[in-house]
Structure 1
Amino acid sequence: MDTDDNSVPASILLYGTAAVILTIGMREIGSILVPIFFSIFAFLIFSPIVHWLQRKKVPGSISVGLVIIFLIIFAIAAVLLVTGSLLQLSTQIPEYQTQLTSIFENIERYLPSSGQYSSIEGILRDVGAFLLGLTVGILTGALNAGTTIALIVITTAFLLLDAAGAPKKLEREIEDQPVLLLRVREFGRSLVDFILIRTETNLIGGIGTAILLLIGRIDFAILWGFLTFLLGYIPYLGFFLAAVPPVLLALFKYGAIGAIAVLVGIWLINVLIENVLFPSLAGKSLKLSPSIVFLSLFYWGYVLGGSGALIAIPLTMVVKMILESSDNTRWMAKLMESGSKE
């Protein structure tokens, strides 16, 4: 009994030390891990399409080729969309800055001229400069991330080429270990289901946002819809990051009322996606507590940079499933689960 009690602090110290070492190591090779992780998740998204084509009697090599061609077209279209929009936006930034200055000058007319309010005026200008910088930073980051897309596409293509035979190979290797086979299947099914459902709901949210902005005649509506789709993988914070650029442009074009209307519209789409559509599709598949979800954003963002936040939830699910695979670490996985009763 005493031995078991004494082993608990030792186990915590051991696992904590291992986690710190692993974190430092992953951070050092983050530039290598990011394209690898994105390639694996892209493979998980597109491999069901390969299997579906095979069930329709399409030969394996042709089905993989069709999916790879679709992936390349999608990647090229995304890069062209972001690059073209960024170039157009860069030419209009001086105009937006002028409009923002005009807005703050109008606000200043309603503020008392006493010295105690000069700090408020400075704060307003700083906020405006921050929002403009944030908008440009988001787009510049997306453009810089596009430099790794070619590597991701190539790696995903090689993974897809082996997709048809992988399940059979895996079953042959572990056919004498039914428990391990069951865990591997459950692991893959849960992860793929989450990624596919998250991608589908993000796509609906991105299309809905783009349509809303097109109706409102907001500049670069398609780009903001794509940004909404992309940042939808970041829980809690993604919505606010995606809403900043179109709300700013609505402020420039229609004033405060227009900005509020766009913000409310995007918020309603987000509520529909996150509170109605996604829970109804995902069910209980995401058994992570909200605190773990939120903390995972900061952890994977620290380890892998901004790209880590996009795949923080799938990576955290992988960690949880790995912890569940051992009797010695299963208690850690339980701590990561949501406390709500089924």
Structure 2
Amino acid sequence: MNEAPLPARPSRLNAELALKILAVLAVIYTFYFCRSLLLPIILAAFIALFASPAVRFLARLKFPKPLASLLILTLIVMGVGYGISLLYSPASAWLERLPLLSSKLALQVDDMAGSLDSLKSSMLPDNEDDKSPFDSALGSGFLPLISMLAQTTAMMLFQLATVIILTYLFLVFGGTLLRNIVRGASTLHEKKNLVKMYQTIEHDISRYVLVIAVINTMLGVATFAVLSMLGVADPLLWGVLATVLNFAPYLGPFILTVLLTAVGFVEFQSPGQALLVPTAFLILNVIESQLVTPMALGKRFNMNPLLVVIWMFVWGWIWGAVGVLIAIPLLVCLKIIASHFELLPYWRILLSADSEAQHNK
């Protein structure tokens, strides 16, 4: 009796998995190599998405939509510009002071351990007038460095202007584009799904960003108050950094903790006082991340921390610091779309926290 041949299902599954992996890699490399084109478009779309409720509010007050869009965009640009100008001087001063950290840390460790004298004497040059190889390399590469900085600045200004123009166009003509997309749908069910999806994304993303912005602002104010009581210079700068960096969960607070550790050793002589600065911020961040944010957002936006950090690293590699800051709103947006259309159920369960995943099961 002849046995029936086994179906070639494993090989077919392996081929499908390989195709999915290749498709994901192709998308990642497309976003990476086209970042100068795609980043301004996506950033402008997110800004327009956040600002569209304010534009609609002004439109209900009989403002023409182009004028309302221009007014809201002008307020956003003026607010960001004023904040940068307010923080530019203290930030520049700290950038000049932070190189002193290495020598001050060496003195702190020397006071605590008393065993670095020979190491420091062996590392210091015999003649202070002699130029080190680093100085020679810096001198020889000064003009190329200036040229590279000029090109980078010009590119950043061009992309900034592109983001502003695209944001205005999204605010003015985004509704028309959405109506044309809905009109192009083949069935009434698809049209309703598209409208509902857009309304859900706009509502949930706007709510998410508003709640996170309020919480991060409260964290920044608390950081400002605590550092002021500790006697740290320029507490407003660190409060603003706490607000901005906290938009990148886990990674942003870690970066600020490292910076505040350096600030503590620059500001204070005692190691205990120096370590009190980052410790105070860590306590505030734990209260925010473990108590305030989960209570404010609930389980709907609760996501696996490990995958969130990996996601931010991926977008940081693709689009740099801006990619890290918009990674979480982008992830929330994709999660809403997947939930709305019942797409990628395994991915949604994997992304969710343990409690939510078990509930879905």
Specify the TM-score bucket, using the shorter chain as the normaliser. 0.7 to 0.9
Tell me whether 214-223 or 53-62 shows the greater mean CA deviation: 53-62
Q: What is the deviation of 1:171? A: 5.7
Query: Deviation per CA, 1:71-120, whole angstroms, max 9, x where unpaired?
Result: 111221233245333332344345555433432332342x498x9xx69x
Q: What is the deviation of 1:21? A: 1.0
Q: TM-score, normalised by structure 2?
A: 0.74
Aligned mates of 1:83, 1:47 — CA distance in 2:
30
Written as runs of structure 1 = structure 2, the 5 A alignment for 1:37-186 is 37-93=42-98, 95-109=100-114, 111=115, 147=157, 148-162=159-173, 176=188, 177=190, 178-186=192-200
1:18 aligns with 2:7: no
Amino acid at match of 1:219: A
Q: What is the deviation of 1:2? A: 5.8
Amino acid at match of 1:184: Y
Aligned mates of 1:318, 1:4 — CA distance in 2:
34
Aligned mates of 1:149, 1:222 — CA distance in 2:
25
1:313 aligns with 2:324: no
Structure 2 contact 211–296 (Cα < 8 Å) conserved: yes
- Identity value in percent: 21
Query: Deviation per CA, 1:266-324, whole angstroms, max 9, x where unpaired?
Result: 12221232122221221123153233212212221222233322222222233444545
**What number of residue pairs does the alignment pair up?**
318
What is the DSSP-based 3-state SS (H/G/I as helix, E as strand, rest coil) of the residue aligned with 2:355? coil
Residue of structure 2 equivalent to 1:257 = 272
Structure 1 contact 71–153 (Cα < 8 Å) conserved: no
Aligned mates of 1:267, 1:256 — CA distance in 2:
17
Determine which of 246, 250, 253 is the counterpart of 1:232.
246
Structure 2 contact 261–277 (Cα < 8 Å) conserved: yes
Q: What is the deviation of 1:333? A: 3.2
Query: Deviation per CA, 1:162-191, whole angstroms, max 9, x where unpaired?
Result: 356566666655582323333333233333
What is the DSSP-based 3-state SS (H/G/I as helix, E as strand, rest coil) of the residue aligned with 1:243? helix
Aligned mates of 1:337, 1:168 — CA distance in 2:
33
Q: What is the deviation of 1:8? A: 3.9
Q: TM-score, normalised by structure 1?
A: 0.77
Residue of structure 2 equivalent to 1:334 = 349
1:202 aligns with 2:207: no
Residue of structure 1 equivalent to 2:311 = 296
What is the DSSP-based 3-state SS (H/G/I as helix, E as strand, rest coil) of the residue aligned with 1:314? helix
Residue of structure 1 equivalent to 2:230 = 216
Aligned mates of 1:6, 1:43 — CA distance in 2:
46
Amino acid at match of 1:208: A
Q: Which runs of 5+ in 2 are unaligned?
A: 1-5, 124-148
* CA separation of 1:227 and 1:184: change in aligned 2, threshold 3 A: same
* CA separation of 1:92 and 1:100: change in aligned 2, threshold 3 A: same
Tell me whether 24-33 or 311-320 shows the greater mean CA deviation: 311-320
Amino acid at match of 2:171: L
Q: Which runs of 5+ in 1 are unaligned?
A: 123-139
Amino acid at match of 1:26: F
Determine which of 13, 36, 56 is the counterpart of 1:31.
36
Tell me whether 225-234 or 254-263 shows the greater mean CA deviation: 254-263
Determine which of 150, 170, 192 is the counterpart of 2:206.
192
- Bigger Rg, which one: 2
* CA separation of 1:95 and 1:325: change in aligned 2, threshold 3 A: closer
Q: What is the deviation of 1:35? A: 2.8
Aligned mates of 1:294, 1:51 — CA distance in 2:
35
Aligned mates of 2:267, 2:63 — CA distance in 1:
51
Amino acid at match of 2:22: T
* CA separation of 1:6 and 1:101: change in aligned 2, threshold 3 A: closer
Written as runs of structure 1 = structure 2, the 5 A alignment for 1:278-297 is 278-297=293-312
Structure 2 contact 90–234 (Cα < 8 Å) conserved: yes
Aligned mates of 2:294, 2:111 — CA distance in 1:
44
Determine which of 273, 277, 291 is the counterpart of 2:288.
273
